[in-house]
């Protein structure tokens, strides 16, 4: 009886919205409004100069939920999310999270240049978000109760009082400038690599690969120019440049869920995928039907075959195995064998880059 009541309550909540998208947007916007109400002390400390950023953020959330829900409804994604949540409290989760979200160790194998580039861009964007969004929604602001001292207010609570010319105030007010410099250096490194590296040049296009970098560059440069105008030009040209900077941020927020930068908000789910591979890999490995090498976990192999079946994609070969039961080198050789008529997949020779890292 209790289980029936729980199911009815869940269904009634879902039936209150037209779709998962509508429910997600309602809950997200409601949460932001509630946090802003608390943080701004009942909307008494709202900076209307940041209104454009607020609208851009709401539009970004709409695009993000639309993209995430569409992606999350796919059978492979459902498996990763469902099993990833169950494995979230593995002992290795903190280490995996640090490597994927903080140190970017997974990029280290691709070279120190690319790792440095990603660290500069990644942490520059993270710091700017941690500073910008609390300011935009009023979760954090500064007051001057007495001359020469700032009070840092966070979520409506007076966090600390610091000297206006002190080190804490200096880093607080220049955090966005430091993050902008970091992003500019990282973007310039990425642009240089994309223009000089022949492999990168072969498979890139302007809208997908270059435009995100240019958008980040415009935001960072205009932000630094704003600081220069305020400090050295006594605010001359501030209004026009602030509009240019604000529009560039809004355009980037709107574009973000639908372009290459979408991997930024999606990146935490890589922890789910890593936990999935490690957990089931520790249980049992699937041996390749041709060479006998353990290439993925048995669970992953079964999940792949199951997902292919749900999508009406059958890869059962006449040799008595599914194509998903072959390791990648043997799978490539087997496909060649189907066209050439020669059983290349049974030739015991490794590919030159079979064990390559990165």
3-state secondary structure 198-253: HHHHHCCCHHHHHHHHHHHHHHHHHHHHHHHHHHHCCCCCHHHHHHHHHHHHHHHH
Q: Which of 47, 223, 231 is nearest to 141 (CA)?
A: 47
Q: Sort 150 into a burial class: Cβ within 10 Å, 0-12 / 13-18 / 19+.
A: buried
| Backbone dihedral region for residue 328 (phi beyond 0: left; psi -120 to 50: alpha; all else: beta) | alpha
Per the listing, tokens 């910008």 go with: 132
CATH topology for 46-270?
Fumarate Reductase Cytochrome B subunit (1.20.950)
Q: How many CA atoms lie within 13 A of 116 on its CB side?
A: 8
If we measure between CA atoms, which residue out of 34, 23, 14, 10 comes closest to residue 66?
A: 23
Low-confidence ranges of the chain (pLDDT < 70): 1-14, 338, 340-358
The domain segmentation of the chain, as residue ranges, is 46-270, 284-346
Cα dihedral sign, 8-11-13-17: negative
Residue 13: the pLDDT is 64
The Cα–Cα gap between 201 and 190 comes to: 12
Distance in angstroms between the alpha carbons of the first and the last residue of the chain: 54
DSSP bridge pairs for 163 = 149
Rounded CA-CA distance 176/172 in Å is 8
Alpha-carbon torsion, ordered 302, 303, 306, 307, to 10 deg? -150
Query: Structure pTM?
Result: 0.81
Cα-flanking dihedrals φ and ψ of residue 281, to 5°?
-70, -30
Q: Which residues contact 347 (CB under 8 A, 6 or more apart)?
A: 333
Give the containing element (helix H, strand E) for 151: strand 149-154
Residues 345 and 334: their CA atoms lie apart, in Å, by 5
Q: Each residue of 171-224: pLDDT tens digit?
A: 988 999 999 999 999 999 999 998 888 777 777 888 888 999 999 999 999 999
DSSP character for 268? Answer: T
Instruction: Output DSSP code: residue 259.
Output: S
Residues 6 or more apart in contact with residue 24 via CB below 8 angstroms: 65, 69
CB-facing half-sphere around the CA of 101: CA atoms within 13 A: 17
């Amino acid at each position: 009886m209790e289980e029936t009541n729980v199911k009815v309550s869940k269904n009634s909540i879902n039936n209150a919205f037209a779709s998962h998208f509508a429910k997600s947007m309602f809950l997200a916007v409601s949460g932001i409004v509630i946090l802003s109400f608390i943080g701004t002390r009942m909307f008494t400390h709202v900076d209307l100069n940041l209104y454009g950023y607020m609208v851009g953020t709401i539009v970004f959330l709409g695009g993000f939920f639309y993209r995430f829900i569409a992606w999350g409804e796919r059978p492979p994604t459902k498996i990763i999310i469902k099993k990833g949540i169950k494995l979230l409290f593995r002992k290795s989760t903190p280490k995996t999270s640090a490597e994927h979200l903080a140190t970017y160790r997974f990029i280290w194998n691709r070279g120190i240049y690319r790792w440095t580039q990603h660290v500069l861009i990644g942490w520059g964007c993270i710091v700017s978000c941690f500073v910008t969004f609390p300011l935009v929604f009023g979760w954090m602001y500064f007051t001057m109760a007495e001359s020469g001292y700032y009070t840092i207010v966070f979520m409506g609570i007076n966090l600390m009082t610091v000297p206006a010319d002190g080190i804490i105030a200096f880093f607080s007010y220049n955090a966005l400038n430091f993050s902008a410099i970091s992003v500019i250096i990282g973007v310039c490194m990425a642009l240089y690599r994309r223009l000089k590296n022949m492999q990168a040049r072969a498979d890139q296009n302007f809208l997908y690969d270059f435009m995100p970098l240019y958008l980040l560059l415009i935001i960072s440069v205009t932000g630094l120019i704003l600081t220069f105008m305020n400090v050295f030009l006594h605010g001359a040209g501030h209004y026009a440049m602030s509009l240019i900077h604000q529009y560039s941020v809004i355009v980037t927020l709107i574009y973000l869920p639908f372009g290459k930068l979408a991997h930024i908000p999606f990146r935490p789910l890589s922890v789910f995928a890593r936990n999935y591979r490690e957990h089931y890999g520790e249980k049992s490995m699937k041996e390749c039907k041709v060479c006998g090498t353990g290439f993925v976990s048995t669970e992953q192999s079964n999940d792949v075959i199951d997902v292919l079946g749900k999508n009406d994609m059958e890869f059962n070969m006449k040799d008595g195995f599914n194509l998903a039961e072959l390791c990648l080198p043997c799978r490539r050789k087997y496909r060649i064998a189907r066209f050439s008529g020669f059983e290349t997949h049974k030739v015991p020779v490794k590919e030159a880059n079979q064990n390559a890292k990165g």
